Amino acid sequence: MPDLKNRFQHFFPEKYFLDFSIREINEYLTGQNWLLDAEYVQELEKPGEGNMNLVIRVKTNLRSFILKQARPWVEKYPQIAAPVERNQVEAEYFTRISKDPVLHSYTPELMGYDRQNFILVYKDLGNSADFTYVYNKGNHLKTEEIKELIGYLNSLHHLDCPTFPFNRSMRELNHEYIFEFPFIEKNGLDLNKIQSGLMETSLLYKKNKTLKRAIAELGKYYLNEGPVLIHGDYFPGSWLKSASGIKIIDPEFGFKGFAEFDLGVMIAHMMMAKQNKVLIDEIISGYCPPEGFDPRLLAGFSGIEILRRILGVAQLPLSLSLNEKKALMQIGSGWILSGKIDL
């Protein structure tokens, strides 16, 4: 942690570095006027495994809430630089969607935003867990849950949102690790350390020039401005089960883009989680596409999400054999090249 603090202060010597220190956090919260009268910090917890940001649960003598700070790196992978402006995008996203009653019902309550120090404060949802359990064999989403998750996308992709921050830095970061890095032959990632034989299997895709050209074209779409506001990372790690129902979190990759990306990512993760065909059919049939929706783009984005998750840095807790991954990658590449989702 001292190394990370020094690194942070090298970039931002005047900024506050959020750390697991009761004394320092109490002083910070007091300075921000975020504590109530006679309120003080008693305990700090790590509420879960954060990917992009540091997240701390603060327990006081009166209540609990969540602090979330963006650092100039990816929290899970500190070697990867990332823009601190992502929390500004997240705050803007939640502000925009709060005007829609459906989207608001799935939104954690944003209590404050310290733009100077890249910190968000949220009402604590209590004992909650994300949906990454679906990657474990035998775990399936319920039809009611699918309806809610698709209902969220339906409302989001039809939201009247004429303008939104372009979020260029985050898009460029995501573009690199979705459309480029996984398909570089010698990118420094030893896939055999993840699963024996995966490196050799990856060469089938890294050396496929036709596939790589198609992926590059999809990447251009991703970087372009699109017609609708999208979440940008709509997968089980961004869905929370809480006492007050499903909540959708972590929209720091949000921007005005193509609806096909959000839906494609969701379908890809249902495939990797080995959810049954009926459930995936329910996702497709329950979705209400906005005007101009392109099924070929949907297939491409869904296929690339499968490939990049298996071959790239952002690994998932998949309980799949090498042969199962091979089959999924064949499906994903087929979707990209054919422009058609064939279940």
Q: Is 38 exposed, middle or buried (0-12, 13-18, 19+ CB in 10 A)?
A: exposed
- Which amino acid, residue 111? M
Domain carrying residue 21: 2-123
**Do 191 and 227 share a domain, yes or no?**
yes
**Do 310 and 250 share a domain, yes or no?**
yes
**Is 343 part of a structural domain of the chain?**
no
CATH number of the domain within which 303 lies: 3.90.1200.10
pLDDT at 51: 81
**Do 168 and 99 share a domain, yes or no?**
no
pLDDT at 342: 85
**Do 67 and 154 share a domain, yes or no?**
no
**Do 184 and 87 share a domain, yes or no?**
no
Give me the sign of the Cα torsion angle 273, 276, 277, 283: negative
**Do 172 and 55 share a domain, yes or no?**
no
Which of 123, 154, 181 is at the close of a domain?
123
The count of domains in the chain is: 2
- Helices 209-223 and 168-175: crossing angle in degrees, nearest 10, is 170
Helices (H), the chain: 2-11, 22-31, 86-97, 101-105, 143-157, 168-175, 198-206, 209-223, 259-272, 277-286, 295-311, 322-338
**Is 223 part of a structural domain of the chain?**
yes
Which of 64, 96, 123 is at the close of a domain?
123
**Do 142 and 265 share a domain, yes or no?**
yes
How many whole angstroms separate alpha carbon 85 and alpha carbon 220? Answer: 23
**Do 95 and 189 share a domain, yes or no?**
no
**Is 227 part of a structural domain of the chain?**
yes
**Do 250 and 279 share a domain, yes or no?**
yes
Q: Distances in Å between the alpha carbon of 207 and those of 182, 211, 223?
A: 12, 9, 24
pLDDT at 2: 61
| Model confidence pTM above 0.85 | yes
Q: How far apart are the first and last CA of the chain?
A: 46
CATH number of the domain within which 9 lies: 3.30.200.20
pLDDT at 103: 97
pLDDT tens track of the chain, all 343 residues?
Answer: 568 899 999 999 999 999 999 999 999 999 999 999 999 999 999 987 778 999 999 999 999 999 999 999 999 889 999 999 999 999 999 999 998 999 999 999 999 999 999 999 999 998 889 999 999 988 999 999 999 999 999 999 999 999 999 999 999 999 999 999 999 999 999 999 999 999 999 999 999 999 999 999 999 999 999 999 999 999 999 999 998 999 999 999 999 999 999 999 999 999 999 998 999 999 999 999 999 999 999 999 999 999 999 999 999 999 999 999 999 999 999 999 999 998 7
pLDDT at 138: 86
How many residues does the structure list for the chain?
343
**Do 116 and 152 share a domain, yes or no?**
no
Angle at 104 between CA 100 and CA 105, to 5 degrees: 125
Which of 107, 123, 139 is at the close of a domain?
123
